[in-house]
Amino acid sequence: MRVGIDFHGTVNAYPEYFAQVMRELRGHGHRVGIVTGAPEWSRAKILERMTELGLPRPDFLIMKSGVEQAIPNVTWKHLVMRREGIDLMFDDLDTGVVRLIERSE
């Protein structure tokens, strides 16, 4: 499986938990990365923050391009799941409550 994790309100809110989730899933052969609505130009900053929080380097880091900035995060995340073949996402979808989203939703 390819598993995506949101950054703001998810990975950065519960870094110890998601560090363990990332390692466990990888240990079972899954690919785990970050899908964030943050702009592409902040890629280095996101990776640096993950290191500071003790998170492993993600298998992929998908961010919003310039033209995608106008798309609401909820819509964009679902588009990315289909486009990138991401089976599951952990995301707070700006609600503050982290939940698991399946691609078919």
Which stretches of the chain bind Mg ion, using CB under 5 A?
6, 8-9, 92
CB of 88 to Mg ion, least distance (A): 15
DSSP sequence for 10-71? IITTSHHHHHHHHHHHHHTT-EEEEEEEEEGGGHHHHHHHHHHTTPPPPS-EEEE-TGGGGS
For Mg ion, which is the closer residue by CB, 29 or 91? 91
For Mg ion, which is the closer residue by CB, 27 or 105? 105
For Mg ion, which is the closer residue by CB, 2 or 90? 90
**In the complex, residue closest to Mg ion by CB:** 9
Q: Which of 43, 83, 39 has the alpha carbon at shortest distance from 65?
A: 39
CB of 74 to Mg ion, least distance (A): 10
CB of 70 to Mg ion, least distance (A): 18
Sign of the C-alpha dihedral computed for residues 58, 52, 8 and 71 taken in this order: negative
For Mg ion, which is the closer residue by CB, 28 or 97? 97
